[in-house]
Structure 1
């Protein structure tokens, strides 16, 4: 769940049937097993493997709550998936280099307080 934004990512790791959806952050979490909160750029870099999840946790860039087994399963699924930012956004993989450049620029221009 990105800090201070009106949306969240709902991830359901389930092999080839797994999914990532964007939902309202105030939506009923229903059967959510775990919640990972942090700055949007940090979460996106975790999804596509540019940032190490363990490092982000121990540096306190993310806050993790819920079922530890579910969190570890998600961690392992993300590492094995080789997702690209284009995959996450539902765009053709050919656009991934452009998306990576845009995220890199956004990361350099971010306010210091928004991304520790």
Structure 2
């Protein structure tokens, strides 16, 4: 687990509206930069995807048809058609297309339940998008952008290294 126990304990105190706001901001940024992303889901655009980071006290429900993301505390049950569960760094790396999704799935670092075909459609839709979450967050930091970007790139590299993976 990349996030240390003390950090995990402090994340329980983070207000859910803050988590919701950050996740909604990131979804808006992704969709602005990659406007055709949801169209690439085709018939699976109506699928609701749950993402459950194993190292965070939060989980997320993405509804492509309504272009929404909702954050929940993990104790909340999410009604989703497909669920992807794994460490946060790995989930972000997959969204950014920086690790091999098949290798991660077959190595059991990632758990997929529900509609597997829709998850494959999502993975294919994300291919070639060149999503960079660190850049999106850093860009919002204004003059602190270079410092924040450097810090986040370093953290993501450490996180994947702790998972035994390298960043492509």
TM-score normalised to the size of structure 1?
Answer: 0.69
TM-score normalised to the size of structure 2?
Answer: 0.51
Larger Rg: 2
Task: Return the match for 1:100 from 148, 153, 158.
Answer: 153
Which residue does 1:36 correspond to in 2? Answer: 84
For 1:1-116, list aligned pairs within 5 A.
1-14=52-65, 18-30=67-79, 32-86=80-134, 92=139, 97-98=149-150, 99-108=152-161, 110=162, 115=163
Greater displacement, 18-27 / 72-81: 18-27
Larger relative helix fraction: 2
Q: Structure 2: any 5+ residue segments left out of the alignment? A: 1-51
Q: Displacement, 1:50? A: 1.3
Q: Structure 1: any 5+ residue segments left out of the alignment? A: none
Aligned residues of 1:13 and 1:74 also touching (Cα < 8 A): no
Superposition CA RMSD, Å: 2.9
Question: In 1, distance between residues paired with 2:160 and 2:117?
Answer: 31
